[in-house]
Structure 1
Amino acid sequence: MPGRLKAPTGRYAGKTAEERQAERRRRFLDAALRMFGDSPGYRSTTVAALSEAAGLSTRQFYEEFRTLEDVLAALHLQVNDWAEEAVLKAAADAADLPLVERAAAIFHAYAGNVTADPRRIRITFVEIIGVSPRLEQQRLQRRARWIDLIVAEAQAAAERGEAAARDYRLAATGFIGSVNGLLHDWSAGWVAATLDEVVEELVRQLLGILRPPGWSPDPTT
């Protein structure tokens, strides 16, 4: 398809064209979360079925998106944005807490957000995999943002004398894989633990990275 159809302009039913467009987009993404994140899944969903689930027409679909892959891409970003907003708020609220309590608050916020709806986990860790080089690049870019966040928190802890001073990028890259894998497996019922126990394990792993054997706080910090 050469491009999206042109959406109508002007005010209708008390809403501007921009407001109507935002509402249509939200309805398509809400329907995609239900269908991609549960049944039938992204690969078995059609434009017609998604449009019907959203209560909209296929013409309206093509006014907002070019392909179903565009919908999945937008939904993947949205799910990550929700989790990022929760983490940044928790980090700000816990800024003055000791390292252990701050790390626990941040991980509780992340885990609570992504596991609040199992469909979010499926979008992030299952449906996005292997779709196209474009979406693989997007997935890796969003994962890099999480790595950057962990590195920034680790470096800040080191500057406060709460953690070892080192380059944390390699460790953060490995650790984010543990976070994602453990939360996915827990959500799928493959881990016999409570969510609190999962978070406690992640915090222990992170502290092991930040405070390796032999490290001790700098008394001058």
Structure 2
Amino acid sequence: MGTATGTYGGRSAQERRAERRERFLAAGLELFGAGPGYRASSVTALCEAAGLSTRQFYEEFRNLEDVLARLHLRVNDLTEQEVVRALADAAADGFAQRVTVVLRAYVTAVTRDPRRLRITFVEIVGVSAALERQRLLRRARWVELILAEAAAAAARGEIAPRDHRIAATAFIGAVNGLLHDWTAGQFEATLDQVVDELAGLLLGAVRLRERRAAPAAPTASPNGR
């Protein structure tokens, strides 16, 4: 071991710690997302699954909740990256096309690994006030993405300008519920069917107010007056 650089076996102390963190997170993903779940897990069980000691665990994390929090952020970051890439590829498309592109990227990313889906929509809920704030903050980012797309569409004249925050927030709740039930086997559907249904919901919510706001056409009387 080199005392100046802290290297061992060709790896620095920082690299070894990063590897340990990844092993703990991988074990957490399996325990929380596919195994007994967060509430039925323990630090001891996580360490055994990772093949590391409790001393090493507490060098990297404060507690088990810290592992769940980091996993939740990672899952959201990975999903967000795929959505942003899809939006960049659809830069020249209209609002309806971009909505479909975004939803396909989101649904594909979030359902690719059932463990990630469970952590995002099930295990994170109701754990603590801190995790609830984190969950709502990340959920708000998806609402803001929808609002930005709607504002851009309104600027292009594709939809009428208005405050879409309530519609966007309600839609995000619908997405979460639908994906949870779909992946839990509550109903049978293809990915295309799920994406089409969600796209219809969002487009309908955005345009519903436009139809209501449109003045009613005058009705001609029988005598033509």
Taking structure 2 as the reference length, the TM-score comes to 0.88
Match of 1:200 among 179, 196, 199: 196
Contiguous gaps of at least 5 residues in structure 1: 1-8, 217-221
Q: CA deviation at 1:215?
A: 8.2
Aligned length in residues? 208
Partner of 1:89, secondary structure, is helix
Partner of 1:42, secondary structure, is coil
Counterpart AA for 1:183: L
Match of 2:211 among 191, 210, 214: 214
Report the Cα distance in structure 2 between the residues aligned to 1:70 and 1:182, rounded to whole angstroms.
28
Report the Cα distance in structure 1 between the residues aligned to 2:34 and 2:94, rounded to whole angstroms.
39
Report the Cα distance in structure 2 between the residues aligned to 1:200 and 1:102, rounded to whole angstroms.
12
Report the Cα distance in structure 2 between the residues aligned to 1:130 and 1:90, rounded to whole angstroms.
32
Report the Cα distance in structure 2 between the residues aligned to 1:215 and 1:152, rounded to whole angstroms.
23
Name the counterpart of 1:5.
none
Superposed CA offset, 1:1-23 (max 9, x none): xxxxxxxx822221122222211
The equivalences for 1:1-221 within 5 A come to: 10-212=6-208, 214=211
Report the Cα distance in structure 2 between the residues aligned to 1:17 and 1:169, rounded to whole angstroms.
47
Q: CA deviation at 1:149?
A: 0.9
Percent of aligned positions with the same letter in both sequences?
63
Partner of 2:211, secondary structure, is coil
Q: CA separation of 1:215/1:102 partners in 2, compared to 1, >3 Å: closer, same or farther?
A: farther
Contiguous gaps of at least 5 residues in structure 2: 214-225
Report the Cα distance in structure 2 between the residues aligned to 1:208 and 1:152, rounded to whole angstroms.
17
Given that residues 164 and 215 in structure 1 are in contact (C-alpha distance below 8 angstroms), is that contact kept between their aligned partners in structure 2?
no
Given that residues 35 and 50 in structure 1 are in contact (C-alpha distance below 8 angstroms), is that contact kept between their aligned partners in structure 2?
yes
Taking structure 1 as the reference length, the TM-score comes to 0.90
Report the Cα distance in structure 2 between the residues aligned to 1:40 and 1:104, rounded to whole angstroms.
35
Report the Cα distance in structure 2 between the residues aligned to 1:86 and 1:201, rounded to whole angstroms.
20
